[in-house]
Chain A
Amino acid sequence: MASLRDIKSKITSTKKTSQITKAMQMVSAAKLNRAEMNAKGFVPYMDKIQDVVASIASGSADVSHPMMQTRPVKKTAYLVITADRGLAGAYNSNIVRAVMYQINKRHASNDEFVIFAVGRVGRDLLAKRGYTIIDSSIGLPDQPSFADIKDIAQKAVGMFADGEYDEIFMYYNHYVSAISQEVTEKKVLPLTDIRPTGSTAAYEFDPSAEAILEVLLPQYAESLIYGALLDGKASEHAARMTAMKSATDNAADMIRNLELSYNRARQAAITQEITEIVGGAAALE
């Protein structure tokens, strides 16, 4: 059996660890609240832009735009949104696994696809597999603003418009609730399934529907990416909070068991001492 001092130091160190995990849990909970609010602030913008795109697309059947046309797929782009740090349970590995699974299924060689990586963990893991990463964005703040993601989003959309690749998928964790996040694959471009969400007014277009789509569609695609990032951030904080909560719970369990064996060892030592004293006294008689 371990000595009393060993057990004692183990208890102290476990207690310190649990203090840290507890603090991290609370920090993540606060960040999750903020992230949820950010995601809520984004909803009106997304709804509105979707409304207008849908009403233009459904209102005049003859409008077309390169971003709405499906072309034969020669090359695919994947935009992978992960976190910069670990300690968030299976948050990062779930996404990376899903991406690699799809890539292995769809593509025979590494020349058929490119990757945009948001987040350090995803970038490092995918780069290690030898995949082509054309751009990455790391060190995003916990509450990202649109300006933080604008460059990579514009590049991803711009390269599609230039014909570098023929479709873009993004991978992120969709925030379902504080304890559940789902790996989601979403097609960003081409925009094929835009459905009107509610009542659509018949608009006048100034100067023309085509000119408006020219401005609107890139903006729409970029906001899809930003929306996914906000969703992913909320999931990240939620996943980290859950992971830290279970770490804290495990630490509490461990401390309870250690304290039990500590008390047992102490009791055994006392009993032994008494036996020795009694034995010594009996020997004197």
Chain B
Amino acid sequence: MKTITVSIVTPDGPVYDSDVNMVIAVTATGEMGILPGHIPTVAPLQIGAVRLKKDNSTELAAVNGGFLEIRPEKVTILAQSAELAEDINVARAKEAAKRAEARLEQKQSDTDFKRAELALQRAVNRIRVYEGKI
């Protein structure tokens, strides 16, 4: 089977770099599956899971926003933070989810509300990726 190189890069360094058969990511317009030989594309990503399919196994990564750059032989995901499922600190994510929920319950200004909502999304995404429920 043909493969395509995927790298996930964050400001704190590369997170993932390997050859896979297919990448599935959640872009702003919906889920997008990328196979080798894809036309060069750039798309913004939502907070969500990236599925990396290789032979019969699937790896999961939690990606918090950012964007995706596709070339026929290479996919680069640039996000401000991203983790592979096995690197996720799930205790911390649960803690963050609780904090964000508490903040959402108190009525606050719009910007604080928005930030808490995003924090909650990130935390829930991490927990789901960790548990493999995608």
- Residues on A lying within 8 angstroms of B by beta carbon are 38, 41-42, 44-45, 48-49, 52, 56, 145-147, 150, 201-207, 211-212, 214-216, 219, 222-223, 226
Contact = CB atoms under 8 A, between A and B. Distances in A.
Contacts, number: 80
17 contacts: A41-B12, A41-B13, A42-B13, A45-B9, A45-B78, A48-B9, A48-B76, A48-B78, A52-B78, A203-B42, A206-B41, A207-B28, A214-B44, A215-B28, A215-B65, A215-B66, A215-B67
B80 A56 contact: no
Contacts of B69: 48, 52, 203
Contacts of A206: 27-29, 32, 41-43
Contacts of B5: none
Interface of A is mostly: helix
A226 B42 contact: no
Contact of B41 (A42, A203, A226): A203
Interface of B is mostly: strand
Interface of B: 9-14, 27-29, 32, 39-44, 65-67, 69, 71, 76, 78, 80-81
Q: Which one of B9, B10, B11 has the highest number of Cβ atoms from chain A below 10 Å of its Cβ? A: B11
Contact of A49 (B12, B32, B78): B78
Contacts of A215: 28, 44, 65-67
Contacts of B80: 146, 150, 219, 222
